[in-house]
């Protein structure tokens, strides 16, 4: 009997040992980096248990202004102190003399520290180069004067640049073949997302020391500096943004209380983005909240553009000889032919109709164009780069159709039937019904006209640079595919856009006395939405300047606005003034 019991207990013990062995194999060999459903990295966890570290640079790539200054980060020379100093007799007095802080404050900061820190955080004391040299010359273990990179939580052009975050599921789905730490930051929106694979870290720069269970140092008191093996990384994305212009446009958009909307400023010669501002601002505490997260870049989202679309109708009308100087339009009537209760402009020729944005004129011409070709408005929107992707795209390395921007493409009609319906076509002719375009595309349309009809892709990045500032990849200027308007048509449009400003009754007459001569088109898009019993409109002004030698294309837009007081003409005017001042200060 006892033999059976012994054999039974032996089997139970062997089974237990096998279970323990299987569990040990799972922990140490099989699921070392993805343990449990939470995907715990046991290797990283074991290292973190026996060491403490001060991250000096996460290793993720950076964004720069066009002059090479940083947008998303700031490097500061700081004093790093390690908590094991509290167990040592170190020369705190000498350090305090060098940095100009009290010895007590230094010792107190170390005493309460549980991990390495930059003295003075969250606003660390910034050291001078002589101070750094003196501190490091003392060779005190656990005391270092180093450059530490701080990522800015609120940086200019936040919607364009985008945000990053830890998301292991997204990381593994996006890069299934890469061995990356579960803590690796990934781009979630904007250019951070578009350029994410270029920006991935090759490793962190950090100060590391190994500790025992009490937090004391192991292997003596030597602190190890660890940095990526590849000296060319991280890379920098050199944007086309101008730091001064971005700052002034941001300031003016907020001064004019644009709660929803923004501005886009392009360099016409290079067709690059000099400044882009979207509001509302990103809610840093809850960026993906559907109600007030604010992560959407509204300058890249299609919007109702209203009378700005009359520019497209005009281009088609010029080419099809519908703008005869002797022709008159009844601008005291609505697009249905009924008396207009608001606007009694009388009989106007085409230039005056364009300057005063007469709806009946463009509804009439749109219907005439439909009889020539139902697709004509869509074709001319494409010729003017108002629809389709306008941001830079192309094949680079192993990326096919790499896109610098994640943008909407806009549209003119949603159905073939609408193209043949007089009522829908009339509404389309004044930029209503299903007409949609992004503010970026509207700005590109103005730049296209200013260049004489040559349409190009819009760049927000000019190159990718290695850490040492040598070029990894250049984003060269590229033309947009497809048909374009003729130089003659562009010239006629230029004159009409200028008439909007110089005509004493033009919708842009408030811009007549600016230091730069402006040409452009206003727009009021009816959204069909209400707030407090009042209809909401999208208010636009899109144009370029100086008129005689075009240099800038600018769009200002206020989305979901109420009443006439919400015009964006004053914002447009102030931006032009400040750009003029900025240009002449530099010269």
CA nearest to 569, candidates 527, 506, 496, 526: 506
The dihedral region occupied by 193, where left means phi > 0, alpha psi between -120 and 50, and beta the remainder, is alpha
CA nearest to 227, candidates 208, 199, 253: 208
* Residues, the chain: 587
What is the distance between the alpha carbons of residues 504 and 521, in angstroms, rounded to a whole number? 15
**Burial class of residue 228, CB neighbours in 10 A (0-12, 13-18, 19+):** middle
What is the distance between the alpha carbons of residues 256 and 235, in angstroms, rounded to a whole number? 37
Buried b (16+ CB within 10 A) or exposed e, 347-359: ebebbbbbbbbbb
Give the number of other CB atoms < 10 A from CB of residue 75: 13
> Which residues are part of the catalytic machinery?
307
Q: Which residues pair with 286 in a beta bridge?
A: none
What is the distance between the alpha carbons of residues 435 and 247, in angstroms, rounded to a whole number? 32
**Contact yes or no for 83/215 (Cβ under 8 A):** yes
Residue 112 token pair: 């309460």
**Contact yes or no for 491/269 (Cβ under 8 A):** no
**Contact yes or no for 519/554 (Cβ under 8 A):** no
Buried b (16+ CB within 10 A) or exposed e, 289-302: eeeeebbebbbbbb
What is the distance between the alpha carbons of residues 413 and 375, in angstroms, rounded to a whole number? 9
What is the distance between the alpha carbons of residues 257 and 277, in angstroms, rounded to a whole number? 13
**Contact yes or no for 148/78 (Cβ under 8 A):** yes
CA nearest to 442, candidates 577, 565, 262: 262
Q: Which residues pair with 394 in a beta bridge?
A: 402
HEC string of 342-357 equals CCCCCEECHHHHHHHC
CA nearest to 341, candidates 363, 359, 327, 355: 359
């Amino acid at each position: 009997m006892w033999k059976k019991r012994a054999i039974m207990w032996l089997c139970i013990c062997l089974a237990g040992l096998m279970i323990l062995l299987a569990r040990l194999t799972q922990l140490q060999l099989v699921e070392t980096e993805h343990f449990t459903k939470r995907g715990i990295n046991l290797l990283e966890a074991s290292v973190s248990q026996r060491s403490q570290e001060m991250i000096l640079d996460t290793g993720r790539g950076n964004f720069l202004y066009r002059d090479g200054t940083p947008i998303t980060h700031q490097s500061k020379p700081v004093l790093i102190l390690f908590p094991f100093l509290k167990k040592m007799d170190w020369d705190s007095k000498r350090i305090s003399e060098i940095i100009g802080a009290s010895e007590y404050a230094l010792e107190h900061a170390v005493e309460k520290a549980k991990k390495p820190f930059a003295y003075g955080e969250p606003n660390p004391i910034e050291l001078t180069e002589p101070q750094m040299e003196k501190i490091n010359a003392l060779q005190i273990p656990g005391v270092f004067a180093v450059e530490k990179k701080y990522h800015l939580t609120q940086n200019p052009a936040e919607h364009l640049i985008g945000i990053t975050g830890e998301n292991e599921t997204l990381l593994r789905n996006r890069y299934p073949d890469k061995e990356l730490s579960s803590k690796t930051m990934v781009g979630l929106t904007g250019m951070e997302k578009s350029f994410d694979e270029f920006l991935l870290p090759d490793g962190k720069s950090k100060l590391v020391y190994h500790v025992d269970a009490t937090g004391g140092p192991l292997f003596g008191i030597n602190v190890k500096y660890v940095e990526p093996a590849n000296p060319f990384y991280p890379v920098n994305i050199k944007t086309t943004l101008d730091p001064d212009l971005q700052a002034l446009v941001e300031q003016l958009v907020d001064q004019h209380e644009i709660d929803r909307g923004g501005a886009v400023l392009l360099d016409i010669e290079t067709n690059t983005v000099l400044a882009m501002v979207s509001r509302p601002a990103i809610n840093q505490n809850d960026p993906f909240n559907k109600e007030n997260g604010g992560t959407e870049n509204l300058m890249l989202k299609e919007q109702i553009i209203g009378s700005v679309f009359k520019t497209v109708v005009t281009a088609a009308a010029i080419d099809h000889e519908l703008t005869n100087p002797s022709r008159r339009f009844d601008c005291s009537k609505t697009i249905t032919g009924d008396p207009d209760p608001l606007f009694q402009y009388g009989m106007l020729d085409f230039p005056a109709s364009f300057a005063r944005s007469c709806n009946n004129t463009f509804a009439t011409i749109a219907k005439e164009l439909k009889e020539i070709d139902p697709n004509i408005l869509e074709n001319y929107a494409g010729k003017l780069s108002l629809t389709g992707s306008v941001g830079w795209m192309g094949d680079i390395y192993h990326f096919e159709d790499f896109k610098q921007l994640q943008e909407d493409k806009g549209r003119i009609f949603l159905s073939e039937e609408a193209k043949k319906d007089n009522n829908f076509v009339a509404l389309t002719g004044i930029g209503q019904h299903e007409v949609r375009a992004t503010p970026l595309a509207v700005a590109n349309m103005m730049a296209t006209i200013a260049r004489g009809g040559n349409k190009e892709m819009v760049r927000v990045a000019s190159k990718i640079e290695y850490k040492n500032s040598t070029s990894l990849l250049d984003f060269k200027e590229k033309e947009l595919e497809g048909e374009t308007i003729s130089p003659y048509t562009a010239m006629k449009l230029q004159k009409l856009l200028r008439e909007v400003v110089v005509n004493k009754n033009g919708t842009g007459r408030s811009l007549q006395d600016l230091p730069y001569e402006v040409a452009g088109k206003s727009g009021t898009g009816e959204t069909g939405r209400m707030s407090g019993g009042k209809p909401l409109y999208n208010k636009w002004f899109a144009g370029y300047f100086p008129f005689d030698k075009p240099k800038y294309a600018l769009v200002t837009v206020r989305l979901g606005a109420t009443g006439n007081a919400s015009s964006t003409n004053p914002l447009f005017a102030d931006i032009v003034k400040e750009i003029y001042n900025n240009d002449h200060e530099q010269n």
